[in-house]
Amino acid sequence: MNILVYLMPAALFLGCLGLIGFLWSLKSSQYDDLDGAAERILFDDEDLPRE
Amino acid sequence: MSEAAVDTQGAPVHRADPGLFVRADESGGQAKLDLVVQSMHCAGCMRRIERALGELDGVSFARANLSTKRVAVKWDPARLQPAAIVEKLASIGFEAVPFDSKLIGMLDESEGRKLLRAMGVAGFAAANVMLLSVSVWSGLVSDMEPETRALFYWISALIALPAIAYAAQPFYRSAYAALRKRQMNMDVPISLAVTLATGMSIVQTVVNAEHVYFDASITLLFFLLIGRYLDVQARNRACSAAQNLLGLRAMAATVVDADGAQRSMPIEALEPGMRVAVAAGARMPADGVVAIGISDVDTSLVTGESLPEPVRPGAHVFAGTLNLTAPMQVTVTARDEHSLLSEIVRLMEAAEQGRSAYVRIADRAARIYAPSVHVMALATVLFWLAMGSSFVTALTNAIAVLIVTCPCALGLAVPVVQVVATGRLLKRGILLKAADGLERLAEVDTIVFDKTGTLTLGRPSLVDSPVATPDLAIAAALARSSRHPLARALVESVGAKPLPVLDDLREEPGHGLEGRLGDEVIRLGNREWVEVGEGASIQHGGSELWLRRGTGKPVCFRFMDKLRPDAVEAIRELKIRGFAIELLSGDREPAARAAADALGIAVWRAGARPDAKIARLKELAAQGRKVLMVGDGLNDAPALRVAHVSMSPADASDVSQTAADFIFQGAKLGAVIEAIEVARKSRRLVFENFALALAYNAVAIPLAFAGFVTPLIAAVAMSTSSITVTLNSLRLSRTAREVNE
């Protein structure tokens, strides 16, 4: 059972990473235009956010 | 979409100066503008727009949003004029309209974002707590020691408590608001169940008991937040589409200063005494008195009157009416207390106050549901105490009852259906604006239509009459130079046929046109212009144009405001479905009678002023009828507010569009049937969902009452019922697809 000492913090850490990633993507307006995002993969050139 | 870009009368809209809509960017020195580009449909459009704007000197940011059909631009105001941005887009074939930033404030986009953030937190917590819970459940049948279990519970608590404190806020807030008004909504039992489940779990964790319910309360929140977020999102989409329609109308007034200089100005900034220039084909920006110019004014959007009204200096004109023939200058007057417009504003305010709050189905269900659940929990406590159990056991079982009955399925039953229905309507160009609009629409048994612009297209078309083809061609050739709606209708009727070329064309505002073909002088216009004797009077409920070639006999062209292409079928279909149909028109009697006869509407009224429309709607409501009002004019706006539920076409006046619960795009009246159909199907699905939820409760409650519900059973039961309800709701979109195919 000692393995839990490592595994549980690891699981929680990874989970937190996912949550932070989600909150970041939300904050940087990545969910504002889902239809547009679906189409943008068709652009041939790089489509980097400006600014 | 294209009809949205053209005004009701087919006249080109005079666009506002984009400079008026520019905002300063928060971060230093940049100007910001939102543009509506309705014709943006694909990746190619976005790319072209963004690339074209990027090429402009000074533009630092250009981002197209395909979901909202808007483009956000930021640039350096010192290097670029805002008009250049609109011109650039026009040069690559996109009509862009500046979007009023004040309208953006109308829509609370942060609500969706808040819910999404809460959903993310709840999802994270639910996944991790579930992970621990599953270990505990499997550990229970194998060799997990109580100490390990306690550790798992403590960690669960550590994750779940802050997550619940954060993610449950939308429900607590809404429940608190309802309770303070001494009302009951679905969020009250939800909040109570979450609080009790969490509270009991903390106690159980501290005493290291066997069962905790952290997983139940956090998954419950997660599911409910999904439903709620989708609901808000669907409504935001419909609202933003409605805003785009309004944005397309954004107008500015051209003010003429004393020295003759002209400048653009927002309409709200106009003050009495100012002189504004109104081009032919533009709408009056404010109430006023004509100072210079003779023209015709189309008041159909304001009064429902389908014939243009001639105006000359000194005549009063109302905001929103359309200047047809010649440019005019109008002196703005203070809003007259007795004017039609102030009457409409007064009636709107009265209607707003008189409107009783509609209690939504979910809240009505909550009114029965919440007390019965709480009584049941109380009965559980009493039963176990009577059986001689300890108080803790009794309480534990009672809380278990509250948890399993927690309206996970009930909380999803309405929002999921609403989301699917809104999406389906949106695809058909019907925008749902009011959150409870679908529920109210499903109850409708009577439909009241306005005539001009609602049953009809709101613009005249040539009536088939025995006019010789050469006459028609000559008349059309003459009419081509005018933007008067009758002239346009005449041109439209000849299609793409080659027309003779006339010389010396001139237009006499308020009278007609003159031209020369060879030696023959040709006149087209009203009776006086063509010098028709009074004898040739014909009553047909429409308008007419006369043509005279040289000294020949005058020829008459008759025009009618044509019915929408599918109006006859739509009305027949509605009648077959058992709706009572009425016509309430502000137009003159012959026009209203003609429309009523053509459509087979037995109950009709002509010349109805806004207060008469309201009176009729109240009369119907007093008879217990649930009325759907369909109207477009400014004169319909108060009636749209008073009716049980209301619909407007997309080219309606903006006041009406704001007042209406639904907006439909396109020329077809079939949208009304479609919307009612979807509303009724949604209601049926909601009731089915309630039945499913009740069936689930019928099994779960006795188990909980008897004390058999472990956290595992609660989790399985709640997820199953939520998923069942969601799947059932999705059937609405499946039936839609079958219809399409």
Provide the CB-side half-sphere exposure for B355 (13 A, CA).
Answer: 19
pLDDT tens figures, B631-661: 988 888 888 988 999 999 988 777 788 888 8
Q: Is B437 helix (H, G, I), strand (E, B) or coil?
A: helix
Question: Tell me, what's the pLDDT at B542?
Answer: 65
Task: From residue B62, give the alpha-carbon distance in Å to each of A48, B51, B58, B74, B75.
Answer: 12, 8, 11, 7, 9
> Residue B43 and residue A39: Cβ atoms within 8 Å?
yes
Q: Is the pLDDT of residue B160 over 90?
A: yes
The yes-or-no verdict on residue B421 having pLDDT over 60 is yes
State how far the alpha carbon of A17 is from the alpha carbons of B97, B225, B441, in Å: 42, 21, 46
Q: Does A46 touch chain B (CB under 8 A)?
A: no
pLDDT band per the 50, 70, 90 thresholds, residue B27: low
Task: Identify the pLDDT of residue B1.
Answer: 33
Task: Show the tokens assigned to B636.
Answer: 């319909």
Closest chain B residue to A46, measured at CA: B47
Residue B12: pLDDT over 70: no
For chain B, what is the mean pLDDT? 81
Pairing of strands B580-584, B446-449: parallel
The predicted pLDDT at position B629 comes to 94
Q: Report, as an integer, the average pLDDT of B20-33.
A: 74
SS3 state of residue B673: helix
Query: Would you say how long chain A is, in residues?
Result: 51
**CB under 8 Å to B568, separation ≥6 — which residues?**
B598, B599, B600
User: Which chain B positions have a beta carbon within 8 Å of A18's beta carbon?
Assistant: 124
Among B43, B67, B113, beta carbon nearest to A26: B113
- The mean pLDDT value for B563-576 works out to 90
pLDDT band at B4 (very low <50, low <70, confident <90, very high): very low
Q: Which one, of B648, B475, B642, B665, lies nearest residue B557 by Cα?
A: B475
Task: Please answer whether residues B644 and B628 qualify as being in contact, where contact means their C-beta atoms are separated by less than 8 angstroms.
Answer: yes
Instruction: Please answer yes or no on whether A19 and B121 come within 8 Å at the CB atom.
Output: yes
B356 CB neighbour count, 10 Å cutoff: 5
Q: Is B15 exposed, middle or buried (0-12, 13-18, 19+ CB in 10 A)?
A: middle
The alpha carbon dihedral of B652, B657, B662, B666 has a sign of positive
Question: CA-CA distances (angstroms) from residue B363 to B123, B227, B368?
Answer: 26, 16, 9
Give the whole-angstrom CA distance, residue B638 versus residue B541: 27
Q: Which of B177-191, B235-249, B282-296 has the lowest mean pLDDT?
A: B235-249
Residue B16 has pLDDT above 70, yes or no: no
- The secondary element (H helix, E strand) that includes residue B52 is helix B43-55
Residue B58 pLDDT > 90, yes or no? Answer: no
The percent of residues in chain B predicted with pLDDT above 90, rounded, is 14
CB B231 within 8 A of CB B419: yes
Q: Do A26 and B117 touch (CB under 8 A)?
A: yes
Mean pLDDT calculated for residue range B144-154: 84
CA B374 vs. chain centroid, Å, equals: 39
Q: How far is B157 from chain A (nearest CA, A)?
A: 13
- Gap from A17 CA to chain B (nearest CA, Å): 10
- Give Cβ neighbours of residue B108 (< 8 Å, ≥ 6 apart): none
CB contact under 8 A, B124 and A35: no
Q: Which of B30, B41, B46 to mutate to test the interface with A (most CBs of A within 10 A)?
A: B46
**A3 in reach of chain B (CB within 8 A):** no
State mean pLDDT over A7-32.
89
Q: Do B127 and A15 touch (CB under 8 A)?
A: yes
Say which residue, B168 or B407, is predicted with more confidence.
B168
Write down the ipTM of this complex.
0.85
Is residue A43 within 8 angstroms of chain B, CB to CB?
A: yes
For residue B10, the model assigns a pLDDT of 36
Q: How many CB atoms lie within 10 A of CB B355?
A: 12
**Token couple for B510:** 């308020």
Count the alpha carbons within 13 Å of B333 in the hemisphere toward its beta carbon: 19
Task: Count CA within 13 A, CB hemisphere, residue B338.
Answer: 1
pLDDT confidence of B741, banded at 50, 70, 90?
A: very low
**Contact call for B65 and A12, based on CB within 8 A:** no
Chain B residues within 8 A of A23 when measuring between CB atoms: 117, 120
Q: What CA–CA distance (Å, rounded) separates B636 from B287?
A: 19
Radius of gyration of chain A (CA): 17
List, in order, residues 6 or more apart from B379 with CB less than 8 Å away.
B705
Q: Tell me the C-alpha distance between B69 and B75, whole Å.
A: 20
Q: Residue B14 has what pLDDT?
A: 44
More confident residue, B101 or B645: B645
* Lowest-pLDDT range of B132-136, B224-228, B548-552: B548-552
- Nearest Cα to Cα of residue B669 among B620, B631, B617: B631
Task: Compute the count of residue pairs across chains A and B with CB atoms less than 8 Å apart.
Answer: 58
Tokens for B225, please give them: 């937040």
Once rounded to an integer, what is the mean pLDDT over residues B170-188? 87
Domains of chain B: 2-106 (3.30.70.100), 109-240+358-412+713-740 (no CATH), 252-343 (2.70.150.10), 420-457+563-679 (3.40.50.1000), 459-561 (3.40.1110.10)
- Residues of chain B with Cβ-Cβ distance to A32 below 8 Å are 65, 67
| Residue B450 designated active-site | yes
Query: Degrees (nearest 5) of the Cα angle B708, B712, B714?
Result: 65
* Residue B525, φ and ψ in degrees, nearest 5: 170, -155
Q: Identity (one letter) of the amino acid at B518? A: G
**Which of B7, B215, B450, B654 is the catalytic position?**
B450
pLDDT of residue B286: 80
Interchain contact A16–B (C-beta under 8 A) = yes
**Nearest CB to B66 within list A4, A19, A39:** A39
CB-based contact A15 B124, cutoff 8 Å: yes
Cα separation, B472 vs B250, whole angstroms: 37
pLDDT band at residue A9 under the 50/70/90 scheme: confident
Residue B17 has pLDDT above 80, yes or no: no
B467-522 confidence digits (pLDDT tens)? 667 788 888 888 887 777 788 888 888 777 777 888 888 877 767 888 888 788 88
How far is residue B32 CA from its own chain's centroid? 26
| Cβ contacts of B471 within 8 Å, gap of 6 or more | B547, B549, B555
Question: Mapped to the 3 state alphabet, what secondary structure does B389-409 carry?
Answer: CCHHHHHHHHHHHHHHHCCHH
Q: What is the pLDDT of residue B250?
A: 57
Distance of CA B619 to the CA centre of its chain: 27
Cα B217 vs. chain centroid, distance in angstroms? 36
Reduced to 3 states, what is the DSSP secondary structure of residue B418? helix
| Residue B340 pLDDT class (50, 70, 90 cuts) | low
CB-CB contact of B316 with B287 (8 Å): yes
Nearest-angstrom CA–CA distance, B240 and A32: 12
Task: Pick the closest to residue B63 from B95, B102, B37 (CA basis).
Answer: B37
B714-728 average pLDDT score: 83
pLDDT digits (tens, 9 = 90+) for B233-285: 887 877 777 777 776 665 677 888 888 788 777 777 778 888 888 887 777 88
